[in-house]
Structures are given as structure tokens and as C-alpha cells.
Chains A and B, each alone.
Chain A
Amino acid sequence: MSHWIIAPVVVPALVAAFIVLVARFDLHLQRTVSIAATIGLLAIAVGLFLLAEDGIPRPYLLGNWPAPFGIVLVLDRLSALMLLLAQILAVAVVLYAAAGWDRQGRHFHALFQFQLMGLNGAFLTGDVFNLFVFFEVLLIASYGLFLHGAGAARLVTGFKYVTVNLVASTLFLFAVGTIYAVTGTLNMADLAVKAGQVGPDQLGLLRTGVALLFVVFAVKAALVPLHLWLPGTYGVACAPVAALFAIMTKVGAYAILRVHHMVFGGEAAPAAGLAEPWLVPAAVLTLILGTLGLLAARSVQRLAAFSVIASMGTLLLVLAVPGPDAHAAALYYLLHSTLAAAALFLLADLLAERRGSVRDELVAAPAFPQLDLLAGGFLLAAIATTGLPPLSGFLGKVWILDVLRAHPVWPWLWAAILATSLLAVLAFARAGSLLFWKSTAVGATAEADPPPRARPALPLVATAVLVAAPVLLAASAGPIARNLEATAAQLHDRAAYVEAVLGPQRLARAGEE
């Protein structure tokens, strides 16, 4: 039993407590500790990713209590992959924030570490109730981060964001309670076994619980019509926080994969075919509404927020298709869309900082310093987000189109994806030409209004890391695709997961019953 498995949860918890208790008034110490801890976590995540490469799910029994009775964390390929993605994003965000955003309010780094703790725990946990607890940890930290820098707009939007998430948490508890009442367990491996043995008289209750759980994850994943909280929230949060939130919707997608496709998945499963008939039209609507939002967006940050909704539409569409092939494609698109959206949020802030009073609004304004550099970054991010070749957005969409052929109404789904991609290209082309070409046409540089301060290089480096991610994802698409195929195959190998967590004898007994 490798004790490193619990490190991604314990390290940020201790670091956050240290920052609050010891480094409270020392911003430099906070930054140093927070950046060092995040880089350390990245190293741990890489180590765990390599550890999970052998394809054996590794349970971590807290207090060494045997599996269905104690609390377990489980490291498998999928959780290791999500951990790695979260830490890569976190390193870029913490470097970006350390250049000045963390001075706008107090406790940025403490909340940031708690947020990481919640994310890592949600990816590692092997227990549905602890999934709820880690969701709460990451949500409570996100409330604090969202309000970072305050202001009336953030407070009013923050109230709605908190309310929506509290209602969703209540639904989560109702769902967990219903599932526990039927099966008598909340351990994921145990649930996977017990759900298959539920009698017909209790089946309706179990399906209700599973459907409620799906609604909760759909709220997190911003599936239409549960997406209304997202544009406002992501549109007014401060840039590094919005970039970090790019992974929050993906936590919803991860939970759908883990709970609906692994725990309650399979052909004979009680919950089979429960959500899929609703998921396809809802995902297509999400895609269309997100794209229309792109066309209507009046600032770069809103553009990035709606690109998150559109990408969630594409992602959830693939999640409606069962089977490991589809889910490998979904995972590739998940990696790509998280990093691309985060890059857009950071670019929006870099632009806002340089363009003076117009901020990141999509209007022609005088040229600004470092225009060429940012134009190049925006071009790459736009190509990646809209899915033009040669970056990972294109590869991801082609792979998705390929796996969607298994779906009965695939011509319609193809039409939806291709048409919305075209509209997204239009929206980004318009934004780019307004921001960069028309700006130079206006002429006279805006040297007059703000005195040229020394611009720190750190935010540019952090953004460059995220902008380079789609390039790297495309360049090494072959090895990554093979890895994701193995990940999806492992996710669907329910027996191996149950055996690893509960032990072989227990699986045999379940088979006899």
C-alpha cells in the first residue's frame, strides 16, 4: 500500500493550514510556500501517474479498515490522469496569481490549497459519501476564491452561485440517502456489486437515487438547462480563479464517468439507459446555446466562459455513448478543453490589464504594448478552442465524430458539432480582428493614460504554459491516445476494480449469490 496515494489530499490541507496560521500577514512567505507545494504536488501527481501505468487499481485503506467498512481512496489510471491535469492547471494558475492577483484580497493561497485538496480528494475517493464531502470542500473553497477581490457584481453573482450549489448539494444528499437505503453501502466497489443484486421491488427507488445523482453532476457540468449559473460566475470571477474553475465543470464530467459508467454501468445494470435518452438532446442544446453565447459575448472573458459551456456540450454528448472507445475520445477532449479554456481566461486578463479603460471588451481601441505576443497567444488558443487543425481541438473533435458514428442519430450529431464549430470560428475571428487588427488601425498607442509599469514576466510564462498545452497534446497525440484507451478500458473493467478494492474472495461470494 503506497502512502503517496493520500499525499495529494493531505499536503494541500497542511499547507493551507500553515498559510492561515503562520504566514497570515506575510504574502511573500505565502507565495513561496504555495508555489513550492503546488510544484511538489505536480511531482507527486506525475509519480502516481507512472505508478498507475501498470493498470492495477490501488486502494488506500484509511486506518487500515477493510474495504466496504472503512474509507477508501482508489488510485487507478483515470484518477491519476485527472490528478495530473488538476496539478498542471494549478501550477500555471498559482504562478499567474503570484504576480499580483493574490494581493487583491486576503487568503488567496490558503483557499487555493483547500480547493486543490477538494479536487484531488474528489478524483481519488472510492466512496460516494466522501465524493460529497470532497465536493463540499472544493465548493466552499471556490466560494471564497470566487469572492476574491470582492465588488458588488461578484457579491451578487456569488450569492446565486452559492445558492445553486447548496441546492445541488442537498440533492446530492437526497440521492446518497436513497442509494444507501436500497443497497446499504456507499463504497463504490461494493455498490457496483450490490446494485446488480437489487430486487425488482426496490429497483425503482435505486433508479430514482441514481437519476438524482445524475442531476447533481449535470449541475456541476453545466448541462442545459442547469447551466445558468456558469456564464455569470466565470464572467466576473478574477482571472486566475476563472482559469482554475475551468476544471470544476470537468469534475462533473469525471463524476458521471466514474459513477454512471463504472459503478452503475454495464448492460445488466439497474441504471442502464436511465440518463442517455435525455443526455443527447440536452448536450446538443448545451453545445448550441454555448455557441450562440460565443457569438453574443462582448468581452474576452465572457467568450471564454461560453467556450466552456460549448465544450461541455461536446464532452457530454460523447458521454452519452457507452463503451470504452467513446470514453477515450471524451477524455482526450476533456484534457484539451480544460487547458484551452484556462489559457483563454488568462489571456483575457492579460489583455484587460494592457488595454486600459476598455479592459477586455470586444471593441476597437488603441494599440497596446506586447500586442504581437498576445495576438499570437490568442490565435493559438482560438485555433485550439474552435477545433481547427492542427491543434488538439481538431484531433479531439475528429476522434469524437468518429466514435459518434456508433450512435443511431449520428448524422444529426455530426451536423450539430460541425455547424457549431463553424459559428465558433466566426465568433473568435471577429473577436481577434477587433482586438488586434482594428486596434492597430485606430493608431496612436495608449501610452498616455497609464504610465508604463514594469510588467512581470511570470503571468506571461504561466499563460504560455497553458497555450502550449494544446500544441503538446497534438504533437504527442499518439502516445496520449494509447494511454487514454487503456484508461477507458480499465474504467470499464468493473470486475478488476471490485477485486482490487474488496479482495478476490468477496467477488467470488458475490458471484455465487
Chain B
Amino acid sequence: MEFLVASAVGVLTAVGVYLCLRGRTFPVVLGLSFLSYAVNVFLFATGRLVVGRPPIIDPAAPGYTDPLPQALVLTAIVISFGMTALVVVLALRAFLEAGSDHVDGREPGAEGRR
């Protein structure tokens, strides 16, 4: 399971970094989403990988799983959800105002119209 989780985080991060470096705004937005997925899975793993245990100390259960990373992940999800919405709207407005969805606001090779 360690291998599965670790490679999932690694692949998500690699995809996210690659997409963030693209020249159009839409892949960049997707890249940011992938990065936030990667960090959410990573944060879950920081409380150690435990399966089928309650997040509180229960004498009947054989052990417990660390509840704090789950709280951290919730905070991170809320923030990244809101930020994704903001960045989508921002990309759309920039496209409508500048007439190009390139991150520089103009097509590569075109003369600047700023």
C-alpha cells in the first residue's frame, strides 16, 4: 500500500508540475488542481497509513488513526476548492479582456498589445 500511495502522490505531482508549466491558462488551472490532489493525498499519509481504525481512542478497537491530518486535509480541500473557482474565473476574465488564453495575455510571436 505504501508503494501505491507514494507513486500516486508522485504521479499526481509530476502531472501537476508539467501542466503548470504549459503556456495556456486552462492546462495551468488543471495543473493546480492536480497539485492540490497530490498534496491532499500526501497529507493523509502523514498520519501514517492505517486501515479500518477509528480516529478516536476506543478501548474496543485494536488501535486508532491520527485524526489531525484529516482535519488538515479538510482545511486544505476547502481552500483549494475556493482557489480553483477563483482562478477559473480569473483566467476567463483575462481571456475575455486580453483576447488570448496565453498566460502572457498575447499569442506567442504576436506583437504586444498591452
A residues sitting closer than 8 Å to B (CB atoms) are 129, 133, 136, 140, 143, 147, 150-153, 155-156, 158-160, 162-163, 166-167, 169-170, 173-174, 176-178, 180-181
A159: B residues at CB distance < 8 A: 25, 28, 87, 90-91, 94, 103
Interface SS of chain B: helix, strand, loop or mixed?
helix
A156 touches B86 (CB 8 A): no
B97 touches A151 (CB 8 A): yes
Is B52 engaged at the interface, CB distance under 8 Å to the other chain? Answer: no
A155 touches B46 (CB 8 A): no
- Asked if A174 meets B87 with Cβ closer than 8 Å, knowing A136-B79, A152-B105, the reply is no
Interface size on B, residues (CB 8 A): 35
B94: A residues at CB distance < 8 A: 152, 155-156, 158-159
Contact for A178 among B46, B47, B83, B98, CB less than 8 A: B46
B75 to chain A, nearest CB (A): 7
B28 touches A156 (CB 8 A): no
A155 touches B36 (CB 8 A): no
- Asked if A173 meets B76 with Cβ closer than 8 Å, knowing A147-B90, A159-B87, A181-B46, the reply is yes
Residue of B nearest to A163 (CB): B28
User: Which residues 27-48 of B have a CB within 8 angstroms of A?
Assistant: 28, 32, 35-36, 38-39, 42-43, 45-48
CA distance A133 to B86 in the complex (A): 17
A174 touches B32 (CB 8 A): no
**Inter-chain pairs besides A166-B35, A180-B69, 5 sampled, C-beta below 8 Å:** A143-B90, A156-B94, A167-B35, A173-B39, A181-B48
CA distance A169 to B36 in the complex (A): 9
B103 touches A140 (CB 8 A): no
A136: B residues at CB distance < 8 A: 79
B35: A residues at CB distance < 8 A: 166-167, 170
B38 to chain A, nearest CB (A): 8
- Asked if A177 meets B20 with Cβ closer than 8 Å, knowing A163-B32, A166-B32, the reply is no
User: Which residues 68-112 of B have a CB within 8 angstroms of A?
Assistant: 68-69, 72, 75-76, 79-80, 82-83, 86-87, 90-91, 93-94, 97-98, 103-105
A177 touches B32 (CB 8 A): no
A170: B residues at CB distance < 8 A: 32, 35-36, 38-39
CA distance A163 to B91 in the complex (A): 10
B79: A residues at CB distance < 8 A: 133, 136, 169
B91 to chain A, nearest CB (A): 6
B97 touches A174 (CB 8 A): no
CA distance A511 to B58 in the complex (A): 32
A169: B residues at CB distance < 8 A: 79, 83
Contact for B72 among A129, A140, A150, A155, CB less than 8 A: A129
A156: B residues at CB distance < 8 A: 94, 97-98, 103-105
B66 to chain A, nearest CB (A): 8
A166: B residues at CB distance < 8 A: 32, 35, 80, 83, 87
B75: A residues at CB distance < 8 A: 129, 133
A152 touches B86 (CB 8 A): no
CA distance A471 to B60 in the complex (A): 69
Residue of A nearest to B40 (CB): A173
B72: A residues at CB distance < 8 A: 129, 173, 176-177, 180
Residue of B nearest to A172 (CB): B39
Contact for B98 among A152, A177, A181, CB less than 8 A: A152
B15 to chain A, nearest CB (A): 13
B104: A residues at CB distance < 8 A: 156
Q: Which 7 A-B pairs have the closest CB atoms?
A: A156-B105, A181-B46, A155-B94, A152-B97, A177-B46, A173-B39, A152-B98
CA distance A475 to B46 in the complex (A): 51
- Asked if A152 meets B114 with Cβ closer than 8 Å, knowing A143-B86, A159-B91, the reply is yes
- Asked if A180 meets B46 with Cβ closer than 8 Å, knowing A133-B75, A156-B98, the reply is yes
CA distance A169 to B68 in the complex (A): 19
B98 touches A163 (CB 8 A): no
A140 touches B83 (CB 8 A): yes
B68: A residues at CB distance < 8 A: 180
A124 to chain B, nearest CB (A): 18
B103 touches A177 (CB 8 A): no
CA distance A166 to B36 in the complex (A): 9
A428 to chain B, nearest CB (A): 26
CA distance A178 to B72 in the complex (A): 13
A277 to chain B, nearest CB (A): 25
A174 touches B91 (CB 8 A): no
A494 to chain B, nearest CB (A): 24
Residue of A nearest to B100 (CB): A156
B43: A residues at CB distance < 8 A: 173, 177
CA distance A189 to B86 in the complex (A): 35
Residue of B nearest to A139 (CB): B83
Contact for B90 among A153, A158, A174, CB less than 8 A: A158
CA distance A167 to B91 in the complex (A): 16
Residue of B nearest to A185 (CB): B68
Pairs across A and B, CB under 8 Å, 28 listed: A129-B75, A140-B86, A143-B90, A152-B94, A152-B97, A152-B114, A153-B114, A155-B90, A155-B93, A156-B97, A156-B98, A156-B104, A158-B90, A158-B94, A159-B28, A159-B87, A162-B83, A162-B87, A163-B103, A166-B32, A166-B80, A166-B87, A173-B72, A177-B42, A177-B43, A180-B46, A180-B47, A181-B46
